[in-house]
Amino acid sequence: MHKQTIGNKFSGMVHDKKVLQIALFAFFLFILLISVAVYAIEPKRQAIKVVYFKSLSSYITWPKTAGLVQAMTFELCIIGKDSLNDYLHQAYYNTNRPIKKKPVRIRQLNRIDEVAGCHLLFIGESESRNVSEILAFIKGKPILTVGETRGFLEKNGMIQFYMTGQKVKVKLSYPAVIDEGFIMNPGLSSVIKVIR
Amino acid sequence: MIKHAIFITFSLNLLMSEAVVSETHNGKEFDRLFEMSMTDLVEMDSLAQVEVGSRGKAIDFLQTKVPVDVITAEQIDRTGHTELSRVLQRFIPGFNFPRPSIKDGSDHIRPFTLRGMAPDQVLVLVNGKRLHASTLLHVNGTIGRGSTGVDLNTIPLRSIERIEVLRDGAAAQYGSDAIAGIINIILKSGGEYSRVTSTIGQTYEGDGELYQADFHHATELPLDGFFNLTAELRDRNPTNRAIFDGRQQYFDGHPGNSNLARLTNRRGDPDTQDILFSLNSEIPFSDELIFYVHGSMNYRHGEAGAFFRRPLDDRNVRAIYPDGFLPLIKPDILDYSATVGSKGKTDFKLNWDFSHTVGGSHLGYDIENSVNASLGTASPTSFDAGSLHFRQHTTNLDLTRELDAGFKAPLRMAAGLEWRYENFQIRAGDEASSVNGGVPVLDGPNAGNVTMAGAQGFPGFMPANRLEEDRHNFSAYIDLDGKFDDKWFVGAAGRYEYYSDFGSSLNGKFSLAYRALDELLLRGSVSTGFRAPSLQQSFFNSTSSININNTLTSTSTLSVDAPIAQALGATSLKAEESLHFTAGLVFEPLSNLSFSADYFYTRIDNRIIFSRNITSSISPEIASILATGNLSAARFFTNAIDTETHGFDLRADYRLDFQNFGELKLAALYHYNRTRIKGGVSSPTILGENGGSIIFSEADRERLESGQPHETLILSANYKNGDFNGLFKLIKAGNFSEESQRLGSQWLADIDLDYRLDKHFNIGLGVHNLFDSEPDRNGQDGAYLQSSPYGYNGGFYYLRLSATF
């Protein structure tokens, strides 16, 4: 095989720098706009989920047996190794932001038998294989259960996060909520999917 | 001037935004989110996550170790385009999609490229599964000459949830073709709404009318399963931007020659009708066992012209076409893909996914308004010119598991096996489409001379061209992804491939990211890759006749294993081998601003080229070889060149929330690339010292090195307020070269305005190329050039109606 180099008439082509200049201008225009910005980037999914805890709670009344009225704190529990834990601390613990007018106490559960006293239990994706057992264990207890695993509501979970495109959506099992003595504000059904 | 701008900008910034910068991102983010109502929260878009490049788990796209762009369904809807390739061109500045015309099949299955490389150097996935290439081999003078590629326009847009574009070599993870990058199309899942959309539009000049309607229906199944079906009908009329044909049309003395304003050719978009279907479903049998199926089907009928045959042309039969004729190439194209599989999780926390994908592409050529002049007045005017068929079966087993390796987070390990089978066929057309009937020129000054054989416009595939070739390959990979601590992220992958035709390939990839600050992520990767020669490149063959000195001979495209090709020095094709390096950063100085910059370098050795004609005039030895097949010229594919491509991408995204006055998203994207041929052109010894320039011409070099824009800038502004959504884009395609001319850059502006009439109905209006800019034309005859990245139709306006229920 021969190797032959062909002359390249385009090798001396002068690069048009105008586009680059425009790109630089555009970039620095962005920097300038920072100065007058009101913060508004697309949040991460986890951030939206932890905000939902407070928003959803405002539509729900806990049964008296939960002892929420007398409680000093709102006990927000998590079971499973999920990244939500860090976001919960940033959203509630670090800012003293309340839920149901109570300071939020975040509890990471290692085992489900530590669930006593929890007002809300989030069951993370990492516990997907144990969801049925966890829900069975707390059946009859006035704990709002929130999950994100497949078929969470069909396993008698109460509230499930799911994705539609880039949106974090919520659906709620009305029978599961009512059976445990919770009262749902009817207005919630116009905002999220309520399965009756 | 720029220096002044930089100084002023930073000074203002420092003075005015100190307080803003001092706050943490998440704190500000939460302040805003907690102020939002439930209604706003459920409608809020979250930061996009990507799956490509990181097997087993989706991650935020700004946290990836290699650059990935994401295009969401909402963004797709707002473009007003109905073809996926055109959508991608509006979002990915390194994505090139010219509109070739009068290029046979390439008019209808148009090639696209990524980052200045070839159409077949991009891997396309649907839901993470390999999508087959089109059967068409681009053999005419278009971008991507000599390559096959995926036809992205076979997938209905409304079925897509998002598109992930990985801007890095990833053959060590995903196998052949992932050199310029990967396009991963994620179909809508878990949908809870159905939707009907219709778009109509036309160009400013009143042609290219578009009538499009699609229907997306989503059905929920138990255990969060779903069944989504999308159907689309698309009818696009042709555009024509040909220039007047001032050539002499008739024999001397004919009065028709006085008309110099004849519009004979058709240069523009072809006339196409498309029917598209897409299916995506997951059917859970239990928590740990999910059956899934997804696929798409596209039938396309097109019509485009070949070059006009003048009345005086010896290829004309004047008794049939006294005023000449425009041969019409009318392909029927069927493209389909279907994946069936199941996935689950074992008691040992091992995720598994087993699937089989079958895909095919069929292209049948019907030629109308033509003639086989060698059959004289007995010639039919319509021909079946034969067909091309490509089929691919892929079976995958993918396993992922998280292991506790003592790092900050579990080490994610993926491993898998893949088996693939490919089959390529050429079927002959009817006899009249290719036969030499022996009838000479019937009239005129050349009466009695030999004339051309085969259907004019597109001579059919002969029985001698008929073939069926296949191959299989097997591969195994391992992919590790870990997080050492809060700052260091590392990935490593290796993949072995064995192909039944060319042998094996072993590739590796190492990627690393370092979070230097909360706001700053540094990232980079180095990898090797490869691209297997396609069956089409190895075995495509065709023949056309040529009249030399009143003797009818043939020119052929030969399979590399054809005896004549072998005698001319052809050898079995080897894989193209690549080396990749990327380095970049993601900077998020504020919660509403992100900036990324990524440099890339790709070296490709043994690139396969489609040779120019090797003619009998080169040497007596070559003439004698060609004579054994009654050929005057032949061409074939060969590994001939090494190239280097380098460039960079800049991207900035910024959002402003005007509270009760809506929000504004701004984005600026810039891409630069430069490809250079390194060293010489390897050519068969029989061609002598000038062999390189014989098989690879200056035009080929120009097309490869300068035929695509070196740079593209996209600026966009998207304003949303209540029911109103407006998008404005400003695009600059950089200069490029064609036919030894340097064509200047082109600015285009797009606008799309959408208004939600009520809970169910939306109406949209928009214009592509608002200011009707046009690319530079050929300096000699004023014609538009093939490689213009955004075509040459001019402005296009449209109306869109959609109903959601």
The pLDDT tens digits for B393-413 are 999 999 999 888 777 778 899
pLDDT in tens, B195-213: 999 999 999 999 999 999 9
pTM of the complete model? 0.92
Nearest CA in chain A to B679: A5
CA B776 → CA A21, B323, B709, B782, B792, distances in Å? 22, 32, 13, 9, 9
Residue A20 has pLDDT above 80, yes or no: no
How many angstroms separate the CA atoms of B479 and B396, rounded?
Answer: 15
| pLDDT confidence tier of residue A27, bands split at 50, 70 and 90 | low
pLDDT in tens, B540-583: 999 988 777 777 788 999 999 999 999 999 999 999 999 999 99
How many CB pairs (< 8 A) connect A and B?
Answer: 269
| Cβ atoms B768, B750 nearer than 8 A | yes
> Residue A6 and residue B681: Cβ atoms within 8 Å?
yes
Instruction: Give kind and range of the element (H or E) at residue B89.
Output: helix B84-91
Reported as half-sphere exposure (CB side, CA atoms, 13 A), residue B722 has a value of 6
> Residue A51 and residue B594: Cβ atoms within 8 Å?
no
pLDDT of residue A7: 37
Among A2, A10, A126, the strongest candidate for a mutation testing the B interface, having the largest count of B CBs within 10 A, is A2
Residue B278 has pLDDT above 60, yes or no: yes
Residue A8 has pLDDT above 70, yes or no: no
> Residue B47 and residue A97: Cβ atoms within 8 Å?
no
Average pLDDT estimate for B218-242 = 95
> Residue A15 and residue B345: Cβ atoms within 8 Å?
no
Q: pLDDT: is B421 or B778 the higher one?
A: B421
Measure CB to CB from residue A31 to each of B10, B47, B345 and give the nearest one.
B10
pLDDT in tens, B626-638: 999 989 999 999 9
Q: Is B799 on the interface with A (CB under 8 A)?
A: no
> Residue A38 and residue B659: Cβ atoms within 8 Å?
yes
CA B270 → CA A29, B267, B306, distances in Å? 41, 8, 11
Residue B391 has pLDDT above 90, yes or no: yes
- Residues 675..694 of B with a Cβ closer than 8 Å to A: which? 677, 679-685, 687-693
Which residues in chain A have Cβ-Cβ distances shorter than 8 Å to B668?
23, 26-27, 30
Residue B78 has pLDDT above 70, yes or no: yes
- Residues 548..607 of B with a Cβ closer than 8 Å to A: which? 569, 589-595
How many angstroms separate the CA atoms of B666 and B719, rounded?
Answer: 9
Average pLDDT estimate for A26-37 = 51
Residue A34 has pLDDT above 50, yes or no: no
3-state secondary structure of B723: coil
How many angstroms separate the CA atoms of B20 and B31, rounded?
Answer: 13
pLDDT in tens, B2-54: 444 444 444 434 333 333 333 345 677 788 889 888 988 998 888 888 888 77
| Cβ atoms B227, B221 nearer than 8 A | yes
> Residue B593 and residue A41: Cβ atoms within 8 Å?
yes
Q: What pairing do the DSSP bridges indicate for beta strands A2-4 and B681-683?
A: antiparallel
Cα B246-B247-B249 angle, rounded to 5 deg: 115
Under the phi-then-psi rule, with left for phi > 0, alpha for psi from -120 to 50, and beta for the rest, what region is B253?
left
How many angstroms separate the CA atoms of A137 and A134, rounded?
Answer: 5
Question: Tokens 């720098």 correspond to what residue?
Answer: A17
Measure CB to CB from residue A33 to each of B224, B654, B698 and give the nearest one.
B654
Read off φ and ψ for residue B24, nearest 5 degrees: -80, 150
Measure CB to CB from residue A4 to each of B12, B594, B680 and give the nearest one.
B680
How many angstroms separate the CA atoms of B531 and B573, rounded?
Answer: 11
3-state secondary structure of B659: helix
3-state secondary structure of B652: strand
> Residue A1 and residue B684: Cβ atoms within 8 Å?
yes
> Residue A40 and residue B685: Cβ atoms within 8 Å?
no
Measure CB to CB from residue A48 to each of B27, B44, B569 and give the nearest one.
B44
Average pLDDT estimate for B738-762 = 94
> Residue A165 and residue B162: Cβ atoms within 8 Å?
yes
Average pLDDT estimate for B421-439 = 97
> Residue B34 and residue A97: Cβ atoms within 8 Å?
yes
pLDDT of residue A29: 59
Q: For residue B577, what are its two tokens? A: 């081998």
**Nearest CA to CA, how far is A93 from chain B (Å)?**
12
- The per-residue pLDDT of chain A, averaged, comes to 83
Residue A51 has pLDDT above 50, yes or no: yes
Residue B727 has pLDDT above 70, yes or no: yes
pLDDT in tens, B660-703: 888 899 999 999 999 999 999 999 999 999 999 999 999 999 99
| pLDDT confidence tier of residue B780, bands split at 50, 70 and 90 | confident
- Count the residues in chain B: 805
Which residues in chain A have Cβ-Cβ distances shorter than 8 Å to B656?
33, 36-38, 40
**Nearest CA to CA, how far is A41 from chain B (Å)?**
4
Measure CB to CB from residue B46 to each of A33, A42, A131 and give the nearest one.
A42
> Residue B192 and residue A97: Cβ atoms within 8 Å?
no
> Residue B46 and residue A129: Cβ atoms within 8 Å?
no
Measure CB to CB from residue B668 to each of A27, A47, A151 and give the nearest one.
A27
How many angstroms separate the CA atoms of A87 and B305, rounded?
Answer: 61
First to last CA, chain A: 76
pLDDT of residue A22: 60
Q: What pairing do the DSSP bridges indicate for beta strands B761-768 and B746-756?
A: antiparallel
> Residue A37 and residue B702: Cβ atoms within 8 Å?
no
Among B12, B287, B742, the strongest candidate for a mutation testing the A interface, having the largest count of A CBs within 10 A, is B287
How many angstroms separate the CA atoms of B276 and B797, rounded?
Answer: 23
How many angstroms separate the CA atoms of B350 and B344, rounded?
Answer: 8
> Residue B47 and residue A45: Cβ atoms within 8 Å?
yes
> Residue B190 and residue A164: Cβ atoms within 8 Å?
yes
pLDDT in tens, B522-540: 999 999 999 999 999 999 9
Question: Tokens 């396609």 correspond to what residue?
Answer: B534
pLDDT of residue B483: 86
E-only strand ranges, B127-209: 129-130, 160-166, 181-187, 195-203
Instruction: Give kind and range of the element (H or E) at residue B300.
Output: strand B289-305
> Residue B593 and residue A16: Cβ atoms within 8 Å?
no
Question: Tokens 């029978």 correspond to what residue?
Answer: A175
> Residue B188 and residue A15: Cβ atoms within 8 Å?
no
| pLDDT confidence tier of residue A26, bands split at 50, 70 and 90 | low
- Residues 207..236 of B with a Cβ closer than 8 Å to A: which? 222-224
Candidates B162, B157, B306; CA nearest to B234 is B157
Measure CB to CB from residue A37 to each of B74, B590, B696 and give the nearest one.
B590
3-class SS string, B244-294: CECCCCCCCCCHHHHCCCECCCCCCCCEEEEEEEEEEEEEEEECCEEEEEE
Nearest CA in chain A to B570: A1
| pLDDT confidence tier of residue B299, bands split at 50, 70 and 90 | very high
pLDDT of residue B32: 83
Measure CB to CB from residue A4 to each of B2, B188, B692 and give the nearest one.
B692
How many angstroms separate the CA atoms of B307 and B459, rounded?
Answer: 13
Q: pLDDT: is B58 or B761 the higher one?
A: B761
Nearest CA in chain A to B189: A164
- The per-residue pLDDT of chain B, averaged, comes to 92
% of chain B beyond a pLDDT of 90: 81
Under the phi-then-psi rule, with left for phi > 0, alpha for psi from -120 to 50, and beta for the rest, what region is B357?
beta
Among B29, B280, B698, B741, the strongest candidate for a mutation testing the A interface, having the largest count of A CBs within 10 A, is B29
Architecture of the domain spanning A43-195 = 3-Layer(aba) Sandwich (3.40)
**Nearest CA to CA, how far is B493 from chain A (Å)?**
25
Domain limits, chain A? 43-195
Among A1, A8, A125, A160, the strongest candidate for a mutation testing the B interface, having the largest count of B CBs within 10 A, is A1
Nearest CA in chain B to A55: B38
**Nearest CA to CA, how far is B476 from chain A (Å)?**
28
Question: Tokens 């003293």 correspond to what residue?
Answer: A96
> Residue B223 and residue A151: Cβ atoms within 8 Å?
yes
pLDDT in tens, B491-522: 999 999 999 999 999 999 999 999 999 889 99
CA B288 → CA B129, B221, B483, distances in Å? 21, 16, 27
> Residue B42 and residue A39: Cβ atoms within 8 Å?
no
Residue B252 has pLDDT above 70, yes or no: yes
Nearest CA in chain A to B346: A129
Least confident of A42-56, B53-67, B200-214, B416-430: B53-67
| Cβ atoms B465, B433 nearer than 8 A | no
Residue A30 has pLDDT above 60, yes or no: no
What is the DSSP code string of B423-477? EEEEE---GGGT--------SSTTTTS----S-TTSPPPPGGG-EEEEEEEEEEE
Among A15, A36, A39, the strongest candidate for a mutation testing the B interface, having the largest count of B CBs within 10 A, is A39
**Nearest CA to CA, how far is A125 from chain B (Å)?**
12
First to last CA, chain B: 54
Which residues in chain B have Cβ-Cβ distances shorter than 8 Å to A33?
654, 656, 666
> Residue A4 and residue B693: Cβ atoms within 8 Å?
yes
